[in-house]
């Protein structure tokens, strides 16, 4: 008797990983599958059922990110033991694969705004300012881990409203930190020119990480609760006046400001102080309401929107960052007068550079490839980027660039996608290089911090029964 052939599954199974149930946050197995030209996580919690979560809109780029890998760099020490397995042992535990490329020090819970999308749920009446003594302890614990931390970001809440703000900067400057950033909404910088003048005294090796969500009133009203367009422009006027290196940080929401991406890049290129733009799609944390995991903006989709809306960058220009290729993409460009020359595309994998009859292809040439990976590291500080480019150009004699480049010649695009309870992937989070210092001194990946460790209760969503099961 002839049997009927079984039906094909509606997807291609790519690999197995671990995620968490979005309801109970218990760790569960998850399949990564390809379906309808997209990449999904398929999860099944025995208590709360099945979930299908969109994680990428570009299968080929998703697979490309797997080729941009390098050995992780371990910190000088680990802070916790591995007892329960990722993500329940942060941090950093010995099973984490990457040191801290960028580390946040949250100096206050309070803010002069109360943004509807705040992942930290900050506001005028939230929490408290942290003491200078506690901040000193947190910085010292980071130094014990890193020796010379690459990039430290003073954050909050809104750090500029801390009554000892400049004492904090002085304290950070006394530590062996290679590059110091201030993560700010720009209100204080816009309203107080003298405050901005004092910020300039911390240059070089100092940068303002300026919240900048777009160019339209509606964008700010939706994301920040009020129209901040004038505030942002006034802040940039002061930052340009004092030539303070600045990165514009764009929180992206589908259907709100994702059509402004090209305009924001064009605007940023015209600002003398701006060294780049970071795009961060909204994730499900904090005060974010109405988040639809089935319709989230993914890194790959933001990348495509940049390519569609900007004439500066091509497909070869925006590549995965080797230290965390799943969640971070980057493009470097060089600004010379009014010209913008994307660097990564010039030395992309499909470009052959010929010299004296020999062909050099960067992915097969160890020396050039090593310099590419060095350049495209999130931990590359502003003071060393130009030197790295200069070294790289030594390998590319046919390219004509100025013999000496400064950080003013640099423009970078970063796409940074954070994980939440829906798209959480243990395989990916183990490579996370963006960390936060907990007040108790632990160094915790940003993704797990917001899910499990913000506040005083570790693994806050796990029940006592679940924890006891792991003991």
Q: For the chain, report the end-to-end CA distance as a whole number of angstroms.
A: 54
The answer, yes or no, to whether residue 398 has pLDDT greater than 80, is no
Asked if residue 149 lies in contact with residue 103, where contact means CB atoms within 8 angstroms, the answer is: yes
**pLDDT tens digits for 146-160?**
999 988 999 988 999
Asked if residue 303 lies in contact with residue 314, where contact means CB atoms within 8 angstroms, the answer is: no
Q: Which of 208, 126, 114 is nearest to 160 (CA)?
A: 208
> Of 103-107, 312-316, 404-408, which has the strongest mean pLDDT?
103-107
The answer, yes or no, to whether residue 463 has pLDDT greater than 50, is no
**What domains appear along the chain, each with residue ranges and CATH number?**
102-333+416-453 (3.20.20.70), 343-409 (no CATH)
* Predicted pLDDT of residue 358: 27
Mean pLDDT value of segment 80-84: 89
Alpha-carbon distance of 304 to 315, in angstroms, equals 8
Alpha-carbon distance of 322 to 65, in angstroms, equals 8
The answer, yes or no, to whether residue 460 has pLDDT greater than 80, is no
At residue 100, the 3 state secondary structure works out as coil
Q: Which of 320, 341, 330, 210 is nearest to 269 (CA)?
A: 341
Mean pLDDT value of segment 176-187: 93
Which of the residue ranges 261-265, 304-308, 326-330 would you say has the lowest mean pLDDT? 326-330
Long-range contacts of 347-356, Cβ-Cβ distance < 8 Å, separation of 24 or more: 347/372, 347/392, 347/396, 348/316, 348/317, 348/319, 349/316, 350/316, 351/316, 353/396, 353/398, 354/398, 355/397, 355/398
- For the chain, what's the residue count? 471
């Amino acid at each position: 008797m002839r049997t009927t052939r079984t039906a094909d599954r509606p997807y291609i199974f790519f690999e197995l990983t671990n995620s968490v149930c979005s309801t109970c946050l218990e760790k569960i197995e998850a399949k990564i599958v390809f379906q309808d030209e997209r990449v999904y996580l398929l999860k099944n919690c025995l208590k709360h059922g099945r979930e299908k979560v969109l994680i990428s809109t570009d299968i080929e780029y998703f697979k490309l990110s797997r080729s941009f890998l390098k050995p992780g760099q371990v910190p000088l020490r680990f802070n916790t033991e591995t007892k329960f397995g990722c993500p329940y042992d942060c941090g950093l535990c010995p099973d984490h694969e990457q040191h801290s490329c960028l580390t946040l020090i949250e100096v206050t819970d309070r803010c002069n705004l109360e943004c509807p999308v705040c992942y930290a749920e900050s506001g005028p009446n939230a929490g408290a300012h942290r003491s200078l003594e506690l901040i000193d302890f947190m910085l010292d614990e980071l130094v014990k881990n890193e020796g010379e931390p690459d990039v430290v970001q003073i954050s909050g809440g809104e750090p500029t409203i801390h009554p000892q703000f400049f004492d904090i900067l002085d304290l950070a400057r006394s530590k062996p930190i290679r590059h110091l950033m201030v993560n700010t909404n720009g209100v204080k910088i816009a309203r107080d020119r003298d405050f901005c003048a004092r910020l300039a005294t911390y240059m070089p090796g100092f940068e303002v990480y300026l919240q900048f969500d777009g160019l339209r009133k509606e964008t700010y009203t939706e994301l920040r609760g009020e129209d901040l367009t004038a505030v942002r422009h006034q802040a940039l006027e002061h930052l340009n006046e004092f030539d303070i290196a600045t990165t514009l940080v764009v929180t992206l929401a589908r259907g709100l400001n994702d059509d402004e991406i090209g305009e924001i890049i064009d605007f940023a290129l015209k600002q003398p102080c701006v060294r780049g733009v970071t795009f961060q799609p909204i994730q499900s944390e904090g005060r974010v309401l109405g988040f639809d995991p089935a319709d989230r903006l993914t890194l790959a989709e933001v990348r495509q929107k940049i390519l569609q809306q900007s004439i500066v960058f091509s497909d070869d220009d925006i590549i995965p960052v080797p230290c965390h290729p799943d969640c971070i993409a980057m493009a470097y460009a060089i600004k010379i007068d009014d010209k913008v020359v994307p660097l990564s595309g010039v030395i992309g994998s499909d470009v052959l550079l010929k010299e004296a009859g020999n062909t050099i292809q960067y992915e097969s040439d160890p020396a050039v490839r090593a310099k590419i990976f060095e350049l495209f590291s999130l931990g590359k500080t502003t003071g060393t980027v130009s030197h790295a480019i200069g070294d790289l150009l030594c390998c590319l004699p046919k390219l004509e660039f100025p013999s000496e480049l400064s950080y003013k010649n640099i423009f970078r695009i970063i796409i940074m996608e954070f994980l939440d309870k829906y798209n959480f992937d243990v395989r990916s989070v183990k490579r996370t290089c963006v960390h936060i210092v907990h007040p108790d001194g632990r160094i915790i990946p940003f993704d797990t911090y917001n899910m499990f460790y913000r506040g005083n209760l570790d693994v806050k969503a796990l029940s006592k029964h679940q924890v006891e099961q792991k003991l």
